[in-house]
Structure 1
Amino acid sequence: MNLINRLLILFCLSSVLFVSCEKDEVKTIAKDGQSGNLTSSTTNVALTKATLNSKVIEFTHTNSDFGYNAGITYSLQFGLKGTNFTPARETVFENGVTMKSYTGLELNNLLSAMNLSFDEDSDVEVRLKSSISNSIAVYSNVVNIKSKPIPLTSWIYLPGAYQGWDPATADSLVSATGNGIYTGILRFPAKDSEFKITTAKNWNVNFGDGGNGTISPTGGNFKSIAAGTLLITMDMNSNTWTMEAAPTWGMIGDAVPNSNWAVDADMKFVNDGAGNWVLKTVLNPGKFKFRRNHDWGTNLGGSGGILTLAGADIAITEAGTYTVTMNPTALTFSIVKN
């Protein structure tokens, strides 16, 4: 009898443990998710330069439910109506935050990145994506908004002695947000190199130096403070300007004619807001690197279009004329044979 009792007790215990394990395992399986609801503060956003720094729209969501206390990642997806969010522009909510607002500038940048028309409103769909993994996600109701981006980037031009006083071919300064403050990096051959500002690639409207750091429509010629690469800022709102030394980038190596790892071929900064330096040059079979300020203290090398500090020499296998572009901020480069 004792043996039978012991066997019964062991059987009961094993049954309890089996059921307990089953219950524990069920707790880790998510049920089909139920998405939260998405609302917006408005459905029609008229963007202007006056609203760039103001909140123009706000999205709010309720929480989604996956059947247990999951770590849910919430994000907003934007897509052009009719594309089924392919592709989708996505913005992740901060942890624990259920509202996301956009300033005029932020929304304008997003709509511009979607390549929407500047000329007429587009129908944009917005939805909430709730995910607990890369493969498990649910989507909310779709909110429809109408809006169009506005072109913000604007330029002024600097014809001067450094390029033959020709507005049509003059270097430019850029205002990335069209706020009237223009910046750019130019290279001057000598100190006191003279130039002026034009608002277009002609002499119809031009400005000069009003003295004491001011800009005047009747002013004389501006003058560079030194030879070399200079950062220029022109504030057309306050009619003031500044000029200061700026870093320069060049190419050095046996692939660069007349360099031989001793002399840099200076690159030109492109004043379009992207931060690129460009040089169109003949290159020979060999290698080269990028250097800042003609000094090995900061040099960049690499491969596959990716740069690293003090990275590997970049190889050229075939002689020819190339356009070389590099971005020291993004640490990228390209070499295109012309």
Structure 2
Amino acid sequence: MKKYINKFFLLGSIIIFGASCENDAILTSLKAVDFSTEIEASAKTLVLTEINANQNMELISWPAVVFPIKAPVTYTIQFDLIGNTSGGTAWINSKRIEVGEDALSKSFLGKDLNKIAIDLGLKPNVVGILAVRVEATLDRKIYSNSITLTITPYEKSVVFGAIYMPGSYQGWGIDTAAELSAIESGVYLGYVTIPTGSGLGFKLNTARNWDQFYGADKDGNLKSMSDTDLVMPGVGTYQIKANLNTFKWNAVPYSWGVVGDATSGSWDNSTPMTFDHVLKLWKITIVLKSGNVKFRLNNNWTINYGPKNAGSGIVNLDDPAAHYIGEAGTYDITLKINDIDTSNGYPKTATYTVTKK
């Protein structure tokens, strides 16, 4: 018996050894990978102002990083203060701008660079320095050497004022016309819902009277005191932007909606809300079953809100929580959000109501 045990032991050892040798044969070591040359900036010194806010002010470019694996490489640009680029927490609080797969450059508008600089702590109208590097990611992360940019940011001026949008959608009453708020000098932004069966014509008035208004020219652009109506694309809810400096305007489909397993669309499809331009809030009357609801923008999870605390009436940006509907029935839901100017991101909180009819 002992002889057979020894034979089995020997055979097992051979199998294990053979398996070990086979595994050793397929082991590989990571090849050294790096940026072949330095990254480049089209301008090393930048003075940012509201005048050049919408101009391309910077182009960052870099060489392709060649990994041993043939697959798309994702590139990300990092900005940070020089003092935060060394030590154990180096670059941990950097501003990261993901450029995409196999892209080898990224341009920046003045206002985008200004936001990065201010967010990182540079003072308006004071010369500051930022470090910039590029991250390449495939089976690991590779970083370029950093370069520095000398940047003077600006403080965005607060703009007040509004224009008004009388039209067929609300019977042309100037006193109840939707308001477009100023977001820059001469640039206005607002929201409107065009109901089914409504006409599509409208004007833009500088006050709640007819002393000064804009209609359409032959190309549909803005023209002062034109009797020709501007025309919406169709029924639905839109974000409207009008630029009285360039006489251009546009209307983009835009809607907050409710989503969740209490709705007919569950977690996959939002039920769109409509914008009440008089009360300046989003609202919906909807049949719900027992379950959860929260809010998201344009039927997408990129911008969404949920309540941290049930019953608080406050929802928080990108919060995983939802409002629980305990009893099936018909509900009135409202959302009030100060998102008229999102150049600094959507607000951290908004208010809402859920009322059973």
TM-score between the two structures when normalised by the length of structure 1: 0.49
Rg larger in 1 or in 2?
1
- TM-score if structure 2 supplies the norm length? 0.47
Structure with a larger share of its residues in strand: 1
